[in-house]
Structure 1
């Protein structure tokens, strides 16, 4: 397929093959690129605008949001290969865009706005921005896909809305499959004997309900995959009554899901149970359908779309109040243990009354902080915003991305160091408490034993992923860790000798351990909330304990697709069917 430049609009119905056609075009462009512009795949559902941008009062804000969306996609695409990501920063990505070095391939503009919205305001804002131009050269090269009904509705306008269309475009309308194409596809791939009744019905009644139903590439693939994987008789397809037979489609989706589970083992060779997989996917789909669009995009506007399944956003499934209460109890248990140890240590030696007052003051501050952190709806992503001018010497994203890659992949040494981080932080905290209660050697023994058990257990059964903090810009990890470690470490170094009468060396050790353990714990408030929520959902059977492993299995099985830092259902029809739960 050839593309000579300019703007190309690919229209079609749901499941008609628009995305497949656009991806094929991207591959052809890459193969023939030479020194020309680079095609960049963009998921339109990942673009978010402010309210002022949507009401038309902030055109610079719209352009800035679109440029940031494109820059994030450039960085993420370049970074998929690992160290190559170090070659691009947001400013460099925007410079590449403005110089005309990109062909923007925009998919899913019809999925930007919630289903049933009276007017697709976000899609309209994106089209207006594309029409105004994003480059400093003549014209932005754009390939845009979308459903025919949505794009035509925008072109026609509506009450209080002017018509909006992508200007100066060539348009391709993806047609439905003909009865001859359907029968040829089935004959060339599957057993003619089993499928012959279906083929005869399609060829004998080319305008009939079965031919109309299978004219969608998505439904044709779904029907063939559902019946071919388990070798069953496809004759129930003869009962189709129309092109939108919901009952038949629900049956196909159920059969397809069951056959997919039976043909895709888990990493260790065992198989999931189809009923469990359907229940887990229903939980995730219902969560997506019920989550307000702005609420989910607010978490990190540059990275999350309303349809994304991201680990740090699923905790409300277990109950917003219930999870925060349990989260608070975990925080208060840790604070209570530390406060009791402080009071026991304060009563020893001289000036016990003064040391107890100091200990009570510290305990009160920790209780307030613990409750605040646990009760926030979305845990804070960065503690270092006001201190950034003082942190200019830190490595930038180009040099410290290796840390992010190793933590997220968690393979080999990455898994070992992730577990070691858990062990040192938790073991250090337990050691401090035991030191205050019983002395040095009990503290060493307890810290080593508890730290080792928690490090192995958390890494093996839960998994530590720093991206659960909700920020995916690696510099944020360095900032949080440094600020918290210095703050807590300095406070510990000053408090230990002054309030408890210990030596300066003990204060230095105490400050170092408190700084490391505290920075680890406070940077991972979202991770702790995830563990609390997953425990509740595992007990209730809503989701599996190792959710990340299950999501990756579903991706490899073809049920989900990767979307930036999260996952999405591969097709909206499957998501809607799973969300209903009437199966």
Structure 2
């Protein structure tokens, strides 16, 4: 009887334990499911926010580039006959049947629907320089965003020149996403990439350095093995050479080539939006339609040249019939490129900024400044104009720039202290108390020491601080940091009270310095909810980081000096340390000094950002995140060649 009860008790215990374990497991699964649901909802919100930001970005860029009004040029494309594509069976799978090659074709309005029809949704767009590959990519992104089918996968257009194939594509995509759209945050950006909620539209494969192209193609193939959607653009000859060298096409990607603009297409675009009685374009239209293989038709065979022709001769007083008189297509192209900037800066004012009215710029000065920037990009072998790389545009060696910059910091800081009435002898570091020295450096110590520290900071930051910085701290943490700073000051005050009798001024000093110190540590540099990163915003964020670090250092050294009884010396050394940190150990400090030198040399305007914003609004530059690019590489090369010719004449 008792044995039966004991056995029953054991069985009941076992059953209870099993049921308890099952209940715990179900609870954990329910919690995990709820967490997953919350995570999915957060990812949905991040994707929706990214889609809104991308749409806003490329709607603005499309307007600036003239891709919306008038209607875009009806550029056509078709499956390329070049030996660069996988087989039809590799691209279409069983649906290929007996087909040996694809027969895709269409225009700028149908590229999105053609991309959706591909089983792997992988597409490579190739074409001649100026053929409109980037414009086609921009319009593709806008079409995909306008379609509900892309609600789960957001197309994002990125320039490939910044990609080092040694970095995994997913890692690079997540970094670029967080840099371009900082509101997302790095965690959400990474999850959007790894969860397949992103359609990378990668522009300019040919802009990757030549020696890195084979490894770039291998890395792309490795990244899209799981049939991930992808769009890549590249110059046709460069892509054919790359595939010929590696022998491996890109995964399951269909390859289409942008076709030359037909004479009738160019004629229709040139006359679009004109007054019905306008007859200025008649000779050009007649030449394009009656002589489709003539020099004018060959020159206007790319969207770039058609756009330039329409822009250069938009003024009713200009006579486009002069184009008919050229016998060489290259001469026509040179005429259009040379006439573009004078026309833009003479007849096309920039769109008004919401804070500043448009500013007129002399065409000669504007072109001169743009030549300097184009020369800078040519020397760096890049197309990305980044403000933090401007020191490389100063016409001296980098080591000379660092030395001059360091001397300027030392002399400026010393002069400010002298004007402030500080006694260098009392502030200077005395070595007389050190056994074996017995030397008092006196006043020369300050400028010499500051210059030395600035040079050391410059050398370190030149190699390690290679781009703008951003502090992303939650506002709640900023409040906690301020409270922590005040508590730290209170502790220091209590310790100081045990050593002496601090007065009211000392207490106030601790409170002020504690607040400032905490504020600097908790400084939140966060963009607005709908903001996109921009060059000007990126510069301001880096400046704020430098100021926060400098103020924190100044506060810490000053408080330490005050506690040690050397208030004047402590403040002076804290000030000097702040000047050094804010000036040298930041991209913003180097940029400011480089710009000042370039202004003194007459190479750039003091209000550089305003000039670049204006050029962007006029369509001369395009903006991608915190960087600018010239509207087209042909324009950059033309300006750089003019700059080189001017230098050789000198």
State TM-score, norm by structure 1.
Answer: 0.68
- The secondary structure found in structure 1 opposite 2:361 is coil
2:340 paired residue number: 256
Pairing of 1:169-188 with structure 2 (within 5 A) = 169-188=253-272
Quick check: 338-347 or 351-360, which moved more?
Answer: 351-360
- The secondary structure found in structure 1 opposite 2:462 is coil
Equivalences, count: 454
Change in Cα spacing, 1:29 to 1:527, as seen in structure 2 (3 Å) is closer
2:158 paired residue number: 42
- The secondary structure found in structure 2 opposite 1:41 is strand
Matching of residue 343 in structure 1 with residue 343 in structure 2: no
| C-alpha separation in 2, matches of 1:11 and 1:108 | 10
1:329 paired residue number: 407
| C-alpha separation in 2, matches of 1:311 and 1:382 | 11
Change in Cα spacing, 1:523 to 1:154, as seen in structure 2 (3 Å) is same
| C-alpha separation in 2, matches of 1:334 and 1:401 | 38
Contact 2:598 2:604 in 1 (8 A): yes
Shift of residue 365, structure 1, vs aligned partner: 4.3
1:544 paired residue number: 605
| C-alpha separation in 2, matches of 1:401 and 1:566 | 32
| C-alpha separation in 2, matches of 1:324 and 1:280 | 24
| C-alpha separation in 2, matches of 1:324 and 1:539 | 17
Shift of residue 34, structure 1, vs aligned partner: 5.4
Residue of structure 1 aligned with 2:361, choices 272, 294, 298: 272
Change in Cα spacing, 1:249 to 1:560, as seen in structure 2 (3 Å) is same
1:145 paired residue number: 233
2:205 paired residue number: 109
Contact 1:465 1:527 in 2 (8 A): no
Runs of at least 5 residues in structure 1 that lack an aligned partner in the other structure:
50-60, 80-84, 114-119, 294-305, 386-394, 404-439, 441-463
| C-alpha separation in 2, matches of 1:275 and 1:10 | 37
Pairing of 1:287-326 with structure 2 (within 5 A) = 287-291=376-380, 293=381, 306-321=382-397, 323-326=401-404
| C-alpha separation in 2, matches of 1:401 and 1:575 | 47
| C-alpha separation in 1, matches of 2:451 and 2:383 | 37
1:215 paired residue number: 301
| C-alpha separation in 2, matches of 1:270 and 1:107 | 32
Matching of residue 71 in structure 1 with residue 174 in structure 2: yes
Structure of greater Rg = 2
| C-alpha separation in 1, matches of 2:476 and 2:307 | 40
Contact 1:493 1:507 in 2 (8 A): no
Shift of residue 323, structure 1, vs aligned partner: 3.8
Quick check: 328-337 or 554-563, which moved more?
Answer: 328-337
Shift of residue 578, structure 1, vs aligned partner: 0.5
2:219 paired residue number: 129
- The secondary structure found in structure 1 opposite 2:384 is coil
| C-alpha separation in 1, matches of 2:282 and 2:640 | 34
Shift of residue 492, structure 1, vs aligned partner: 3.9
Per-residue CA deviations over 1:475-529 (Å, capped at 9, x if unaligned) read xx38x945x655554444444665xx64xxx479838963994476256654333
Change in Cα spacing, 1:268 to 1:24, as seen in structure 2 (3 Å) is closer
| C-alpha separation in 2, matches of 1:354 and 1:62 | 54
| C-alpha separation in 2, matches of 1:336 and 1:512 | 11
Per-residue CA deviations over 1:222-273 (Å, capped at 9, x if unaligned) read 1111011353011221133344x1x332321222211110221584454211
Shift of residue 183, structure 1, vs aligned partner: 2.1
Change in Cα spacing, 1:530 to 1:188, as seen in structure 2 (3 Å) is closer
2:14 paired residue number: none
Residue of structure 1 aligned with 2:185, choices 88, 101, 106: 88
| C-alpha separation in 1, matches of 2:590 and 2:367 | 25
Point out 4+ residue stretches in structure 1 off by more than 6 angstroms: 358-362, 400-403, 469-472
Quick check: 67-76 or 485-494, which moved more?
Answer: 485-494
| C-alpha separation in 2, matches of 1:213 and 1:328 | 52
| C-alpha separation in 1, matches of 2:358 and 2:154 | 40
Change in Cα spacing, 1:177 to 1:353, as seen in structure 2 (3 Å) is closer
1:300 paired residue number: none
Pairing of 1:210-249 with structure 2 (within 5 A) = 210-229=296-315, 231-243=317-329, 245=330, 247-249=331-333
Pairing of 1:557-568 with structure 2 (within 5 A) = 557-568=618-629
| C-alpha separation in 1, matches of 2:213 and 2:454 | 42
Contact 2:457 2:584 in 1 (8 A): no
Pairing of 1:153-172 with structure 2 (within 5 A) = 153-157=241-245, 162-172=246-256
1:97 paired residue number: 193
- The secondary structure found in structure 2 opposite 1:193 is coil
Q: What's the RMSD between the two structures over aligned residues?
A: 3.9
Per-residue CA deviations over 1:326-384 (Å, capped at 9, x if unaligned) read 4233222135444893434369xxx996598486797464342123335678275299x
Contact 1:486 1:515 in 2 (8 A): no
Matching of residue 27 in structure 1 with residue 161 in structure 2: no
Runs of at least 5 residues in structure 2 that lack an aligned partner in the other structure:
1-109, 479-504, 506-534
Contact 2:409 2:454 in 1 (8 A): yes
| C-alpha separation in 2, matches of 1:520 and 1:252 | 48
Matching of residue 576 in structure 1 with residue 598 in structure 2: no
Contact 1:8 1:143 in 2 (8 A): yes
Per-residue CA deviations over 1:451-479 (Å, capped at 9, x if unaligned) read xxxxxxxxxxxxx978459969x9xx38x
Shift of residue 202, structure 1, vs aligned partner: 1.6
2:30 paired residue number: none
Contact 2:620 2:631 in 1 (8 A): yes
Shift of residue 540, structure 1, vs aligned partner: 2.5
Per-residue CA deviations over 1:513-557 (Å, capped at 9, x if unaligned) read 639944762566543333333233223221111111101110001
Change in Cα spacing, 1:467 to 1:235, as seen in structure 2 (3 Å) is same
Change in Cα spacing, 1:42 to 1:398, as seen in structure 2 (3 Å) is farther
Quick check: 352-361 or 307-316, which moved more?
Answer: 352-361
State TM-score, norm by structure 2.
Answer: 0.62
